[in-house]
Structure formats: C-alpha cells, structure tokens
Amino acid sequence: MAQSMRDIKRRIRSVENTKKITKAMELVAAANLRRAQDKAQASRPYADKMRDVIVNLAQGTTGVKHPMLVSRPVKKTGYLVITSDRGLAGGYNGNLLRMLLQNLKKRHQSSDEYAIFVIGRKGRDFLKKRKLPVIGEVTGLPDFPEFAHIGEIAKQAVQFYEEEKFDELYIVYNQFINPVVQRPVEKRLLPLTSEDLQETSAAARTVYEYEPSQEEVLAAILPRYAETLIYSALLDGKASEFAARMNAMKNATDNATEMIENLVLQFNRARQAAITQEIAEIVGGAAAL
C-alpha cells in the first residue's frame, strides 16, 4: 500500500509539472493571438485600396482586360496550402488537410491534374508522405511573418498561372472567425471574377489618371494584388493557429486539473485504507494479548 501511495504522489507531481507547461503555453498563445489579430487587420487597408484601383480599371468604361481576369478551360489546378510548423494546436492542421484530401479526391481523377504549393512543415510532411505533387514549399516561418518570408512562393504560384502551367489557383487555409472558432476554407484565388472585384466603397468609383497606360498599370498591379491576398490568408492562418493552440492548451490544463483532483482522491483513499489496516492490526494484536 505504501508503494502504491508513492506511485500516486509521483504521478501527481508529474501531472502538476505538465499543467505548468500547458498553462504557460496557453498564456503565450493568447498574447500572440492579440498581436496576430492586429497584424492581420493592419494589412487589410492596403488590399482594399488595391482592389479599388483594380475595380476602376477592370470595370471602367475603357474595358481594359487581363488574362488573370478571364476564365479558361481547366486542364490543371494549383493549390496553395497554409499550415503550421508546429503541433499542439488541436485540429488546426488535421481538419484543414482532411478537407484538402476530400476536395482533391472529389475534383480530380489523378495527381497529374493538380500541383500543390505548401507553407508549413506539418502540411509538407503530410503531403509528401502521401506522395502528392508538392512543387513548392516554405517552412520555418516566424510567429509574425513578413511578406518577404513568403514572397517567393506567392510570386511563383501567381506566375505559374500567368504562364498557363495551371488554369486556376486555389488557396487553402484556416479562416479566423473568433478566438473559439477557426474554419478550414478553400477559396479560388485565380482567375479573379467580377464577384471577387465587387465595389466595396465609393473610392472604387474615383476617377484616376494612369501613367504610362491603364493596360500597363493593370498588368503590374494584378499579380501584386493576388500575392497580397496570399499574405492576408497567411496572417489569418497565423491568428487561427494561435487561437487553436490557446484553446488546446486550455483544454489540456483543465484536463490536468481534473486528473490531479482524481489522483488526490485516490491518494487519500489509499492513505485512509493504510491507516485503517494499521489500526486493525493494532487492535488485533491487543486482543491476542
């Protein structure tokens, strides 16, 4: 019985140490979530202003067109998947990658019909393990990435579409709804449709003067706009990652607290049983005398 009590005390200490770690990780994730939300919100005015200019160019009276605004028959599809480098974030990566596999299976007959760009070590390892066609990857991003960290893969993905190496480009990431809800989503990034470029403000109806020409400005700004949407999705994914990790660590901390309470109850019962046994032995010995 004494040995059993020592085992229980050892388990209590072990769970208490784990609880300290999960609580610390929860607090760190909560602090990072606030910064990630602020960073994501700060990037939106730039993308909104770019959209206003594109709306003015694409829907103006001049009728300026660009290949990125025109749909073509789909022979091959590109996907850009945003995951995390680390785990301990609940279903953040698992739910997203399951959705991706389901869509690939539903949309394509073979792996020759699509190509994948992936951001994050978890997604890269998952996809390569299943021998899916990963043609570009970025791993080891900091907690608060800048555009330069993913600029090359974003530029490559957009360039592949412009060169007609694939005919549409989807972006797959976790959309941040609130600190409790993060939703895996798949959005078509290219070609940009009229719905993507709906006027959202009076600024879109502003009269601009373009130099050297509207065609050249549109050709330069459209790829940059698509790359900006990729970066915005990355920031949204980072906020979702921190929220998912905060919730996962909170659940782990709550589970550890419950486990400690159960172990303390077991320890008290074991100690009570040991005391009862000792009293019985003393009483039995006295009666024998």
Picking from 48, 81, 34, 56, the residue whose alpha carbon sits closest to that of residue 229 is 48
**Which residues, other chains included, contact 247 with Cβ-Cβ below 8 Å and sequence gap of 6+?**
90, 179, 180
Per-residue pLDDT for 202 more than 50? no
Identity of residue 16: E
Tokens representing residue 132 in the block: 């899916």
| Pairing, β 114-119 against β 134-138 | parallel
Token couple for 159: 């360039």
Nearest residue to 126 via CA among 96, 88, 170: 96
Find the largest Cα–Cα distance for the chain.
114
pTM metric for this prediction: 0.85
Residue 5 confidence (pLDDT): 84
Token pair 């994914």 in the structure block, residue: 237
pLDDT tens digit sequence for 216-265: 877 788 888 888 889 999 999 999 999 999 999 999 999 999 999 999 99
Give the SS3 label for residue 40.
helix
Q: Is the pLDDT of residue 48 over 60?
A: yes
DSSP one-letter code for 113: G
Query: Is residue 142 predicted with pLDDT exceeding 90?
Result: yes
* Domains in the chain: ranges and CATH: 28-247 (3.40.1380.10)
Taking the alpha carbons of 160, 165, 168, 173 in that order, is the dihedral positive or negative? negative
Residue pair 187/67 in contact by the 8 Å Cβ criterion: no
- DSSP conformation letters of 209-236: --SS-HHHHHHHHHHHHHHHHHHHHHHH
Strand, helix or coil for residue 17: helix
Q: Which amino acid is at 73?
A: P
